[in-house]
Amino acid sequence: MKTPAPKPKKVVLAYSGGLDTSIIITWLKENYGCEVIAMIGDVGQQEDLEAARKKALATGASSAYVEDLREEFIRDYIWPTLRAGAVYEHTYLLGTSMARPVLGKRQAELALQLGADGVSHGCTGKGNDQVRFELAYKAIAPNLQIIAPWREWDIDSREDAIAYAEKHTVSPEKAPDKAEEVEIGFEAGTPVWVNGTKLGPIELLNLLNEIAARHGVGRTDLVENRLVGMKSRGAYETPGGTLLVTAHRELERLTVDRETAHLQQTLAVRYAELVYNGVWFSTQRQALDGFFNVSQQRVTGSVGLKLWKGTHNVTSRKSPFSLYRADLASFTMGRYNPKDAEGFINLFALPVTVRPKAKAEGNS
């Protein structure tokens, strides 16, 4: 029989500054008589985090930390997911999904560092985020006690992601009449410059967010399959991410050979599931990164995009490692001999034509 876990004495809470996590501070203190430390993670949400920090203290937190996770988030979570071409169910770019592990990881590290014995978050019991946070806690600091008050209260379901939507992006109808071009440069699958200017990850993503939002690019509204078994509606805004996924995919068309590209397509489906399900800290994800690190080595070059009224179309693709060779068409010597196609077709067809052939000959 399982003994009930002892009540935690010191809890690190993933604090947002909103009402939902503010309530938790009071509740934890009342119910457990424990000390509560608020952690506010900066993953680029562009809110007033200093105000949140003050609010946490005012609401009863013994201390409150603002953790700048922006660069780590982009470099170690967004870029690998981009390189993997991972998009959940064709459409969802996994923004929130990737943010949870980096927040949960930092929260668990902080707990270890401060000698806390518990961690807490404000996710409800119907969403994916609870899973993503808790898998991170369990991976980094498996002995911490996890307290998820909103799972117990279950007042109302509310997927955080929905709240994000329709906030920043201009609607396509109101976008400027004049198109805008942007060129994005990659090295080994990682974006490194925009319009000729080399930029750090934060600046690069901010700039692309700004440009894409201006033209109403990157809004999506869908029905998705949650890990916890139900379907839900989500509305997402990922303006800069949308440009990056398109540009990256176009550059891959140029630089990755067919068989590798097709295998990548299948593995990207798996990668997206892992990220969506919060299984970030796992051998499987690391091994897939091992694959993509190799397959992306020559995904270097740039892609131009034209943004207009909610659309973004490719205008150029360039790479020093391009496998597209116009000369393959005209210059045949030693390279492409159309006569080879006859032999190719005969053998390619063999497995599916043994049977009709045998039939035509009257046996089988």
Of residues 147 through 206, those in contact with its own copies by CB under 8 A are: 148, 151-152, 154, 156-157, 172-173
Question: Within 296-355, which residues bind its own copies (CB under 8 A)?
Answer: 297-298, 308-311, 313-314, 317, 320-325, 328-330, 332-355
Question: Within 73-132, which residues bind its own copies (CB under 8 A)?
Answer: 89-90, 124-126, 130-131
User: Which residues touch 328 (CB under 8 Å, ≥6 apart)?
Assistant: 335, 336
Strand 231-237 relative to strand 301-308, pairing: unpaired
Task: Please give the radius of gyration of the chain, using alpha carbons only, rounded to the nearest integer.
Answer: 25
Question: Within 260-299, which residues bind its own copies (CB under 8 A)?
Answer: 260-263, 265-266, 269-270, 273, 277, 279, 281-284, 286-295, 297-298
Minimum Å gap between C-beta 213 and its own copies is 16
94 versus 141: smaller Cβ distance to its own copies:
141
Question: Within 212-271, which residues bind its own copies (CB under 8 A)?
Answer: 221-225, 227-233, 249-250, 253-254, 256-263, 265-266, 269-270
DSSP annotation of 74: I
Separation of alpha carbons 17 and 169, rounded Å: 23
Task: Decide: is 31 part of the binding site for its own copies (CB under 8 A).
Answer: no
Q: What share of the chain is helix, strand, coil (3-state, %, to 5)?
A: 45, 20, 35
Minimum Å gap between C-beta 162 and its own copies is 12
Separation of alpha carbons 344 and 333, rounded Å: 18
66 versus 267: smaller Cβ distance to its own copies:
267
User: In what helix (H) or strand (E) does residue 260 lie, and over which residues does it extend?
Assistant: helix 258-276
Residues binding its own copies: number (CB under 8 A): 119
Dihedral, CA of residue 242, residue 269, residue 320 and residue 311, to nearest 10: -20
